Amino acid sequence: MKPYNFYLAFNPLFNEDRAWKTQAHEFHQLLKDKKATNSDAHMYWGKIQISEHSETLNLANFQHVVGENNELQMDSHLFISDYQHMWVAKVVEVLKEIPDPENTLNFYKNKKVEIWFKIVDFDLLSNTSAETLNILNQIHVDNEFYNYKIKEMTPFTSGIRFPMIVQNKSQERFFNKTTSNHKHRVLTNNPLLTSQGEAMELNNLMQSFVIPEATFRRIPEHVRSQIVHAEILLLEAQTGGKKDRFKLEQAILTYLKCLETLLNETFVAYLKREEGHRIWITKDSTFPKFMRSAMDKDKSSLTRLKESTDVFNLSQIKMLLDTPSYFPHTSLDYVFRGKKSFWEYCRLELRSTLKNESLIELRNKLTIHGDVKSHERELLLVRNILLGVGGKGIFNDVIEAWFESSGLEMKAA
């Protein structure tokens, strides 16, 4: 199961700079500072050789993985863990020596580093041991680089040599798109870096909405983190007896963006996988549109869906739900025959909710502060519809319908 990725563990007790919680926290901040002024900035994460007697790493294998992923137009991920935290990095090159040592941590000075990963994006996925264990359990080994298999990683997996070439059962594309205006995840606001931990947040949040925890864990990580972020914004908007209208609107907009992203990770991803080679879309990263046909159209302004990583807005998704025969070469009823339960939910329930609750109109208006005249109660109702206060919400329904159709982990196309 490709793409292949990388995984290694590090020891935070080796950290020499006590100003930082771990080496990874310092690495994150330094890369973030560099990216803030230079979009092309990078840093290197190294694997220190612990013993002269360690088995020699085959650098060519790691370089081959990056090259193969590039051919597949897939990112190479490096999962980095101290078994409490789990970080993910976007790797663009693997090296034996680095030409610019100023782009790494002082921590590596005078240490023997056996392999370097050139990293252009970096983010924290979890900061509790329980959540990190959940992510580790998604990482497994079943590839041509090892003469053994590992069903799932745990902190107690023995007999392995870091770094490892691994697979991720979820196949999630962590750096494909962010749910903010930033191009890089390292520049986004990550609540896990400013809170006691996602697990603690979820314990509180689960009491206020009814997404079962098992279902919540199946939502892509970047959407989960933004749901938590929206809840934090909402709390901040209502604290101290004062109503912060701007933060309230930002919270509701974040919820709606999460819905948009979730439907792109499911509905659009499946459409791309099945018909992406025959469907044309406009080259517009801000508001891409599905084309009914590319006949007699200037192809320079179009691209095939399979070649796009753009996020489609709720309006475009609802348009397809309204007109299953939109594309002249096929019917969406036929395309989604392998996802029948999911398709029926989208057509019969989701489409109606998007229309009746005016979610699309609200999503468009919230991008400009002051354009929304809705009462606070109406805005909070949107949260209830999505999260499920008083009943099952859209997030819960989308995930349940998606997995009912296959029983497989969510993949991006």
296: left (phi over 0), alpha (psi -120 to 50) or beta: left
At a CB cut-off of 8 Å and minimum separation 6, what does 28 contact? 87, 122, 123, 124, 186, 193
pLDDT higher than 60, residue 201: no
The 8-class DSSP code of residue 311 comes to P
Joined together, the tokens standing for residue 239 give: 């604290």
pLDDT band at 388 (very low <50, low <70, confident <90, very high): confident
Over residues 331-338, the mean pLDDT reads 95
- How far apart CA 75 and CA 4 sit, in angstroms, is 9
Least confident stretch, 2-6, 142-146, 154-158, 339-343 = 154-158
According to DSSP, the β-strands at 5-9 and 164-168 are antiparallel
pLDDT higher than 70, residue 373: yes
pLDDT of residue 337: 94
Fold of 5-168: ph1033 like fold (3.10.590)
**What 3-state class would DSSP assign to 272?**
helix
pLDDT band at 83 (very low <50, low <70, confident <90, very high): confident
Q: Which of these, 191, 143, 186, 189, lies nearest to 5 by C-alpha position? A: 143
Joined together, the tokens standing for residue 127 give: 């900061």
- How far apart CA 393 and CA 209 sit, in angstroms, is 8
Tell me if 339 sits within 8 A of 312, measured CB to CB. no
Tell me if 112 sits within 8 A of 49, measured CB to CB. yes
From the CB of residue 11, how many other CB atoms can be counted at a distance below 10 Å? 12
Joined together, the tokens standing for residue 179 give: 């749910």
Q: Which of these, 154, 196, 147, 206, lies nearest to 388 by C-alpha position? A: 206
* pLDDT tens, residue by residue, 248-294: 888 999 999 999 999 999 999 999 999 999 999 999 888 899 999 88
pLDDT of residue 206: 44
* pLDDT tens, residue by residue, 128-157: 888 888 899 999 999 999 999 999 998 878
Tell me if 140 sits within 8 A of 40, measured CB to CB. no
The 8-class DSSP code of residue 98 comes to -
pLDDT of residue 196: 45
Tell me if 397 sits within 8 A of 349, measured CB to CB. yes
The DSSP string of 19-86 is TSSSHHHHHHHHHHHHHHH-TT--EEEEEE---TTSPPP-HHHHHHHHHHHHHTT-PEEEEEE-SS-E
Over residues 306-325, the mean pLDDT reads 94
The DSSP string of 133-169 is HHHHTTEEB-STT-SS-BSS--TT--S--SSEEEEET
Q: Is the previous residue joined to 163 through a cis bond, with omega within 30 degrees of 0?
A: yes
The 8-class DSSP code of residue 290 comes to B
pLDDT band at 197 (very low <50, low <70, confident <90, very high): very low
- How far apart CA 160 and CA 148 sit, in angstroms, is 10
pLDDT of residue 224: 86
Query: Most confidently modeled of 246-255, 371-380, 384-393?
Result: 246-255
pLDDT of residue 364: 85
Joined together, the tokens standing for residue 374 give: 């809705």
Least confident stretch, 45-49, 67-71, 220-224 = 220-224
Q: Which amino acid appears at position 263 of this protein?
A: L
Q: Which amino acid appears at position 243 of this protein?
A: K
pLDDT higher than 70, residue 126: yes
Least confident stretch, 130-144, 155-169, 302-316, 366-380 = 366-380
